[in-house]
Amino acid sequence: MKAARIHQHGLPEVLVYEDVPEPKLRADQILVRVRACALNHLDLWVRKGIPATRISMPHVLGSDIAGEVVQVGELCERVKPGWRVLLSPGVSCRQCEPCMTGRDNMCRGYNVFGYGIDGGNAELMAVPEWTAIPLPNDLSFEEAAAVPLVFLTAWHMLVGRADLQMGEDVLVLAASSGVGSAAIQIAKLFHCRVFATAGGEAKLAKAKQLGADHVIDHYREDIAAEVKKITARRGVDVVFEHVGAATWPKSVESLAPAGRLVTCGNTTGWDVKLDLRFLFTKQWSLLGSFMGTLGELHTVLKFVFRKELRPVIDRVYPLSEIRAAHERLENKEQFGKLVVVP
């Protein structure tokens, strides 16, 4: 079969589209023919190399996967050949206390397709049966692949961690990202007033189309100043942060008293500062968030399948042109998700 693999860390040139052996199926696994796989910033980080993280080479990237079941192992009872499915991007042991109590993203053995285990930039994958979630017929493989990781992450951040309430004010950083475009829609599902940042008029217009009530150009405008002006100096209840060092000071400054800042990433750097005087006098909450639970994925998918939440696709590439997809994501040229199809 064909796959796109890296044999070493580096620039997009390290991605090699090549022939690889077909996966061997265990008794508890299903064989999925990948029809679409979406990119995430995680693909860029793994490709470049993450400090103190060892990736076995050669390695297949790709966390967001949709396809058709072509074969099931002899111990599989639920999933049937021919099913159209998307895969849960997070994989856990399913046996430890966190897993058994519905907190599988806290499992010590938790992993993500395309990170610690081979992902979906290939024609075929052998995966645990429980990772497969059936798709409705009116959802394309490309749309399905654009959903799991970003909608799961955004739901866990806003609902699971920040305890989002109806009608609150929410600031979403980097609306053009996959997780940002998902967060805008989830916040609007809760009838919140959404402030969204993006770079340039075209991206700001698309953020408005997704439902953002107010948009801020984070390259030309002071985020906190704009938020304070619109909210009569109060600030927002929730800041949805995932950019890191470049936006952190303004994100914190945008918080209302008793506001919550939730973060899942550090794309522009991890070393940030915090004035503790404001943390305790304004009674802020700073919340970390990582992926989400399988239960939360099933919850958010209900809204996707009902068309109340919609994946945003920027562009679809053949898997053979995956280098171009990486370059577009790395250059921040996209709005929404980039998808590759084998």
| pLDDT (mean) for 164-188 | 96
Q: Is the peptide bond before 51 cis (omega within 30 degrees of 0)?
A: no
For residue 98, is pLDDT > 90?
Answer: yes
Q: pLDDT for 221-259, tens place per residue?
A: 999 999 999 999 999 999 999 999 999 999 999 999 999
Distance CA 162, CA 169 (A): 12
Residue ranges of domains in the chain, CATH in brackets: 2-147+311-341 (3.90.180.10), 151-288 (3.90.180.10)
Distance CA 53, CA 138 (A): 39
For residue 267, is pLDDT > 90?
Answer: no
CB count, 10 Å around CB of 123? 18
Q: pLDDT for 29-81, tens place per residue?
A: 999 999 999 999 999 999 999 988 899 999 999 999 999 999 999 999 999 99
**If pLDDT is split at 50, 70 and 90, which confidence band does 24 have?**
very high
Q: pLDDT for 301-331, tens place per residue?
A: 999 999 999 999 999 999 999 999 999 999 9
For residue 268, is pLDDT > 90?
Answer: no
Distance CA 206, CA 211 (A): 9
Long-range contacts of 134-140, Cβ-Cβ distance < 8 Å, separation of 24 or more: 134/83, 134/84, 134/85, 135/66, 135/84, 135/85, 135/86, 136/305, 137/84, 139/304, 139/305, 140/36
Q: Which tokens hold the place of 158?
A: 């806003």
| pLDDT (mean) for 136-145 | 98
Distance CA 243, CA 241 (A): 6
